[in-house]
Amino acid sequence: MRAISSSQVLNRGFSSTPIRRPSYGVSGISFPRKLFVCKANSVEFKADGSASFTTVPPTLLAAEKEEAKAVLTLFLRKQGLNNAASIRTINKADHFIAHLISKLHSIHKSRYLVGRELTTLEIRNSLIPYLESLLEEHGNILVDVVENFPNPPNKETPTTPATPTTTKMTTTMTTNAPELINTKKLRAIARMSNTGSKSNVPPHVPYLIDLGMNHEQIKDITRRFPAFAYYNLDRKIRPVVDFLLELGVLRKDIPTILIKRPQLCGISLSENLIPMMAYLEELGVDKKQWAKVIYRFPALLTYSRHKVKVTVDFCSELGLSSKSIGKVLTRCPHIISYSVDDKLRPTAAYFCSLGIDVGSLLKRCPQTFGLSIEANLKPITEFFLERGFTLGEVATMVSRYGALYTFSLVENLLPKWEFFQTLDYPNSELVKFPQFFGYSLEERVKPRYKIVKDCGVKLGLNQFLSCSEKEFNKLLEKKLRRMCEDGVECGEVSEVDSALFETGL
C-alpha cells in the first residue's frame, strides 16, 4: 500500500448527522419506513416491508447479514430458545435481519461514508443493546415481533398458538435478564466445582488441575466464560493444549493462557486457529516466536481476519513496511485489540501534534499506542514542559526513547527527575539521553554515579549508564590512568581504584 502523510491519515473527517432511531408504540412496534439515507449506502423499506439496499457491495452486505443472524441466534438462545427453535425463527426473519442491517448502517453511518467495514465486535456491540431494548419492550412476544416484522402482533395478545417451545420462551423472557445470566453462571460454576461426588465433575477439571490450575482459577474462568464448563475435554480442550505444547509453549504457561483466553478451546483448530496463524505469518509474524506471542496475547488467534487487516492497513498508511508490521505484530500482538478509529488514530494524531514521527514511534514502541491520551500521554508531556523543556525537546526525547511515555509519572519519572536535580548536569543531558528514565534508580543510577563522583571523573549519563559492568570498570580505569598522566597523585588514585574495583558495583 502506498504510504501517505500522517496528516492525511489523521485528519479524516466523520459525519455528525444525528441517528434516527425507531419509536415504539404501546400496542406494538412501529418503525419509520425510511430508516436512513447515506451517500455511500442506504436502505429503505418498501410498502410490503421488504428492505431495499442501494450501493452496498454485495459481498459486504452478505457478510453483515450472516453476522446479524449469528448475533440474533445467540441472543435468542440466551433467552431460552433451543437451537432448532432459534433456527426456525431466523428462517422466518428475513425482514427483521434486513432491519438489523439498517440499524448498523444508521449507527455507523460515518464509517460507511469513508468506506470502512465494521468488525465482528462492533456489530455485536451495536446489535445486542438494541435487541435487549426490544426484549424489555415486548417481553414474551419477541419471537413474534422478529418473525412478523415489520407488522408485529399486539403486545398484549400473541397471535400464534402456544407450543412447548414458545411457552419456554415466554417463561424465560419474563425473567429479569441479569438474574438469568447470574443463574447460568452459578450453574456453570457448580458444574466445575470439586464438591460432592467426583463422578459428577467434568473430566476437564482434573485435567486442568494436572496442568497446574487450581480450583479458584477454574471457577474464575467459568465465571467470566460460563460456556467453558461445557467444553468437551477430548474434542475441545486437550487438542488445543497439545497444539500449544507442540508450538513450544511451556507446560507451566498453559494455565495462564487459558485463564487469559478460555475461548481458545472453543475454536476449531483446523478451521480457525491454524488458518489464522498461517494468515498472520503471511503478514510477517515470526513463526518461531509463536510460543511467546500466544503467551503474551492469546486473544490474537480469536480475532477475525477483517479486524487484523484493519490494523495492518493503518500501519501501512503510516509508512510501515510489511516486514516492520510483522515485527510490530510479533512484539506487541495487543495492538490488534485496539480500535483503529477510537484508539490508534487519535493517539497517532496526538503524537503528530507534538512533532513526533508517528510511523517511527509505532515501529519502535507500539505499546505506547495503547496508552490513554488523557490519563497517560498528556500528563507526561506537561510534566516535562513544566520543568523547562520545550515541545521540540520533548519530541526529541520521545523520538530517541519511545518507551518514555510508558513509565509511571509518580513512581518513575518524578523520583528520577528529583535525583537528576542533585547532579551536575544541565537539562540538555536528558534530551541527549532520555534512556536515563529507563534505568533502576537504586540499583544502577545512584551506585554508578557515586563511583564516578568518588573517582572525580566526568562522564555523561550515556557513558556511565548504558555500558555493561565490565565496560564501566574499563572506562573508569582508563579515565583514572589518564588523570595520573595529567599529574594527579597516582598513589591516591590507585587507592581509590583498588577499593572501587575490589568491592565491585
> Counting beta carbons within 10 angstroms of the beta carbon of residue 366, is it exposed (0 to 12), middle (13 to 18) or buried (19 or more)?
buried
Element (H, E) at 119: none
pLDDT for the residue numbered 189: 78
Q: Collapsing DSSP states into helix, strand and coil, what is residue 422? A: coil
Element (H, E) at 73: helix 58-78
Within a 10 A sphere around the Cβ of 30, how many other Cβ atoms?
A: 13
pLDDT for the residue numbered 243: 96
Distances (CA, A) of 302 to 15, 263, 276: 31, 8, 8
Question: Which stretches of 401-468 are DSSP H helices?
Answer: 414-420, 428-432, 446-455, 461-465
Q: How far is Cα 251 from Cα 207, in angstroms, rounded to an integer? A: 13
Element (H, E) at 276: helix 274-282
Are the CB atoms for 82 and 167 separated by under 8 Å?
A: no
Within a 10 A sphere around the Cβ of 500, how many other Cβ atoms?
A: 18
Q: How far is Cα 300 from Cα 280, in angstroms, rounded to an integer? A: 10
Are the CB atoms for 458 and 431 separated by under 8 Å?
A: no
Beta bridge partners of 52: 44
Q: How far is Cα 144 from Cα 220, in angstroms, rounded to an integer? A: 37
Element (H, E) at 290: helix 290-296
Q: How far is Cα 413 from Cα 422, in angstroms, rounded to an integer? A: 15
Compute CA 29 distance to the chain's CA centroid, rounded to the nearest angstrom: 37
Distances (CA, A) of 169 to 136, 256, 478: 14, 38, 84
Q: How far is Cα 95 from Cα 174, in angstroms, rounded to an integer? A: 25
For the segment 302-318, what is each residue's pLDDT rounded down to a tens digit? 888 988 999 999 999 99
- Residue labelled with grid coordinates 412476544: 141
Q: How far is Cα 333 from Cα 327, in angstroms, rounded to an integer? A: 9
- Residue labelled with grid coordinates 435468542: 76
423 Cβ neighbours under 8 A, 6+ residues apart: 449
Element (H, E) at 29: strand 29-30
> Among residues 300, 259, 260, which one has the least CA distance to residue 283?
300
Rg (CA), the chain: 30
Q: Which grid coordinates belong to 476?
A: 573508569
For the segment 389-416, what is each residue's pLDDT rounded down to a tens digit? 999 999 999 999 999 999 999 999 999 9
pLDDT for the residue numbered 57: 64
Three-class DSSP labels, 167-205: HHHHHHHCCCHHHHHHHHHHHHHHHHCCCCCHHHCCCHH
Q: How far is Cα 28 from Cα 33, in angstroms, rounded to an integer? A: 15
Are the CB atoms for 89 and 147 separated by under 8 Å?
A: yes
Q: Collapsing DSSP states into helix, strand and coil, what is residue 391? A: helix
Q: How far is Cα 250 from Cα 256, in angstroms, rounded to an integer? A: 10
> What pTM, to 2 d.p., does this model score?
0.61
Q: Which grid coordinates belong to 482?
A: 589518564
Burial 71-86 (b: 16+ CB within 10 A, else e): bbbebbebbbbeeebb
- Residue labelled with grid coordinates 495462564: 256
User: Looking at residue 318, what DSSP letter applies?
Assistant: T
Q: Which grid coordinates belong to 410?
A: 509518580
pLDDT for the residue numbered 415: 96
- Angle, in degrees to the nearest 10, between helices 204-211 and 215-224: 120
Amino acid occupying residue 129: P
Q: Which grid coordinates belong to 76?
A: 435468542
Q: Which grid coordinates belong to 193?
A: 466445582
Are the CB atoms for 95 and 150 separated by under 8 Å?
A: yes
- Residue labelled with grid coordinates 461514508: 113
Q: Which grid coordinates belong to 386?
A: 513544566
Q: Which grid coordinates belong to 325?
A: 508490521
pLDDT for the residue numbered 200: 72
Are the CB atoms for 355 and 392 separated by under 8 Å?
A: yes
Peptide bond into 150 cis (omega under 30): yes
- The one-digit pLDDT tens for each residue of the chain (505 residues) are 444 444 444 544 333 333 333 333 333 333 333 333 333 344 444 444 444 444 556 666 777 888 888 888 888 887 777 777 888 888 888 889 988 888 888 787 666 555 566 777 778 888 888 887 788 777 768 888 888 888 755 444 333 444 444 444 444 443 444 455 567 777 777 877 755 555 578 888 899 999 999 988 988 888 888 888 888 999 999 999 999 999 999 999 999 999 999 999 988 899 899 999 999 999 999 999 999 999 999 999 988 898 899 999 999 999 999 999 999 999 999 999 999 999 999 999 999 999 999 999 999 999 999 999 999 999 999 999 999 999 999 999 999 999 999 999 999 999 999 999 999 899 999 999 999 999 999 999 999 999 998 888 889 999 999 999 999 989 988 888 887 776 655 434 333 444 444 434 3
pLDDT for the residue numbered 92: 86
Q: Collapsing DSSP states into helix, strand and coil, what is residue 28? A: coil
- Secondary-structure breakdown of the chain: helix, strand, coil percentages, each rounded to the nearest 5: 70, 5, 30
Compute CA 298 distance to the chain's CA centroid, rounded to the nearest angstrom: 11
